[in-house]
Amino acid sequence: MAVDTTTPSWNRSTNPYIEGMDVVREGDKSGLGMVLRFTLRGSREIGVISLPQQGHSRTGPTWAYLIDIQGWTLIDAGPRGALDALEEGLKTLGRKTTDLERVIITHGHQDHDGNAYDLVKASGAELWAHELYFHFLPFGHEHTGLDRESPLHQAMHEIRKRDEAW
C-alpha cells in the first residue's frame, strides 16, 4: 500500500479564525529553515520562523512568531546563536530586527530564550519576560551558564531570597 506523503490542504475547520497559510520558504524535512505566513480573519498576518537548535534535537526546530500588535512583536527569541537565522527569516517576511518593538519570552528554556540577549541588543526592542531576565540582560550568554559564578543563578537566588522574605 502506497503512503501519501503530500502536504495536506489547509483545513479551515482546524481553527475558524485562520483564513489561510502560505509557505513563504520551504525548510528541510524537519521544518528547519521554513518560514510560514498565517492570515487571520480581518487580514492580520502572523509570520512563523523556524530556528535551529544547537546540535541535534529530537523535537525539531524552535519556532518564533512575528505579529503586528501595536508595532512588530516577536514571540520567543530562539536558541543561542540563532540570530543570523532569525534575521534571515525576518528578511524573508519583509522585516528586519530593527523593526521589532518588543520581544516576548514565553518561558525559560534555552531554545526559546537563549537568543534573547543578542536579539535585544541588535534590535533595540523591549524585552517582555519574567522579571528574572532583567537581572542578567547586562551579561552576554557566555556568562549565564549553570554555575555559582553565573549572573543568572545569582539573580535567581536573590529573587528566591526576596520571595521567601514575604
Residue with cell string 552576554: 140
pLDDT per residue of the chain (166 residues) written in tens, 0 to 9: 555 445 555 566 677 888 888 999 999 988 889 999 999 888 889 999 999 987 666 778 999 999 998 899 999 999 888 999 999 999 999 999 999 999 999 987 878 888 888 899 999 999 898 877 666 656 655 555 545 565 666 776 677 677 666 5
The torsion angles phi and psi of 73, rounded to 5 degrees, stand at -120, 130
CA dist 58 and 30 (Å) reads 10
Tell me the CA distances in angstroms from 154 to 141, 146, 159, one per residue in order: 14, 10, 9
Kindly provide the b/e burial profile for residues 78-105, where b requires at least 16 CB atoms within 10 angstroms of the residue's own CB: bbbebbebbbebbebbebebebbbbbbb
Nearest Cα to Cα of residue 40 among 12, 63, 64, 71: 12
* DSSP run (H or E) holding 51: strand 45-51
pTM over cut 0.95: no
Please state, as a whole number, how many other Cβ atoms lie within 10 Å of the Cβ of residue 48: 21
**Cα three-residue angle 117-120-124, rounded to 5 degrees:** 150
Q: In the Cβ-directed half-sphere of 18, how many Cα atoms lie within 13 Å?
A: 13
Residue 56: what pLDDT? 60
Residue 29: what pLDDT? 87
Tell me the one-letter amino acid at 159.
I
